Amino acid sequence: MTDAPALSRRHVRHELVQRHLTVASVRSVTPRIVRVTLTGELDGFAADGPTDHLKVFFPDPRTGRIATPGFHAGGLGLSAPGAVISRDYTPADHRPGELDLDLVVHGDGGPASAWASRAAVGDPLIVAGPKTSKLVPDGLTSLVLVVDETAFPTAARWLRLTPPDVPVTLLLDAPEEAARYFDGLPGSRRATIRAGVDLEAALRALPIDPGTFVFLAGEATTLVPLRRYLRRELGLGPEQVVASGYWKRGVAGLDHHAPVDPDDPD
Ligand SMILES: Cc1cc2nc3c(=O)[nH]c(=O)nc-3n(C[C@H](O)[C@H](O)[C@H](O)COP(=O)(O)OP(=O)(O)OC[C@H]3O[C@@H](n4cnc5c(N)ncnc54)[C@H](O)[C@@H]3O)c2cc1C
């Protein structure tokens, strides 16, 4: 008999490289998601884990120049005059020489969204990461994903990277029409997808076994009651439940390392 958790995720480290990229195409995937395909310095780009993410550096709208902190080829300090404007994004997909980012457009209130709403072929962008890939858990028997549109690309990565015999339930914090994002995606046919539902009621109705992994991502305060149910009521550990605040209402540039539930940090 061993006390080792049923699920464990191996980590793969990557060299942190700053990549200068250019927009090669732009298209809308759902009414709120714009897919930007980037080309450029992508040699050696690797993203092996479902929750991999990138630091994306956007141009300062006043100067049009992209500033990055401290790790440009010329040494320490800002790479260009102006403010460093960066946000976290998921490598939705990548092929040799191409990287897709799927960005939610939520108005001009944030620099990333404002950039995405006007993105055009030829626009420059700088990305760094992923630093680490956390792989799909070993020992996984079922997967539950609760995501809003900002984490649709992460859900797509889970579907692609999870073994095909593992059943997946996908609860979308989004209107039903947004579910078309998943149509035809690799790994999506074995998924049960529900949109426009009461998330907590739907989550409570699901069987959670020792081999079930639950990934929650989206608006941070929305995740609190869901995480409390899983962690406090069901007593599941962090190896089985990951709740990641991808954004927080009223907060610009949320640090996703901040605990989702300040009363119960991991
Ligand atoms: C690990 C990780 C991966 C992520 N991957 C993706 C991804 O692939 N695609 C994606 O679209 N997002 C993704 N996000 C979320 C994205 O980083 C945030 O939504 C970010 O705040 C957007 O920056 P902004 O400049 O548009 O807005 P900010 O300047 O950060 O915020 C300005 C205002 O807009 C609000 N706001 C921010 N995001 C939203 C939103 N989605 N809807 C409504 N209001 C919002 C804020 O509450 C704030 O009031 C990810 C986040 C993390 C932590």
Domain residue ranges of the chain, discontinuous segments joined by +? 11-132, 136-247
> Residue 113: helix, strand or coil by DSSP?
helix
How would you class 178 by CB atoms within 10 Å of its CB: exposed for 0-12, middle for 13-18, buried for 19 or more?
A: buried
11-132 and 136-247, same CATH topology: no
Q: Which of 184, 168, 183 is nearest to 136 (CA)?
A: 168
Q: Please indicate whether residue 68, judged by its CB atom, sits closer than 6 Å to ligand 1.
A: no
**Whether ipTM exceeds 0.90:** yes
Q: What is the CATH number of domain 11-132?
A: 2.40.30.10
Q: Which of 102, 117, 125, 150 to mutate for ligand 1's pocket (most ligand atoms within 8 Å of CB)? A: 150
Quickly state the pLDDT bin for 72 (edges 50, 70, 90). Answer: very low
Q: Please indicate whether residue 258, judged by its CB atom, sits closer than 6 Å to ligand 1.
A: no
Question: What whole-number distance in Å separates Cα of residue 223 and Cα of residue 218?
Answer: 7
Annotation: CATH topology of 136-247: Rossmann fold (3.40.50)
Average pLDDT for 52-81 = 78
pLDDT tens column, 169-220: 999 999 999 999 999 999 999 999 999 999 999 999 999 999 999 999 999 9
Q: Please indicate whether residue 112, judged by its CB atom, sits closer than 6 Å to ligand 1.
A: yes
Question: What whole-number distance in Å separates Cα of residue 56 and Cα of residue 49?
Answer: 18
Question: What whole-number distance in Å separates Cα of residue 86 and Cα of residue 54?
Answer: 10
Quickly state the pLDDT bin for 252 (edges 50, 70, 90). Answer: very high
pLDDT recorded at residue 76: 45
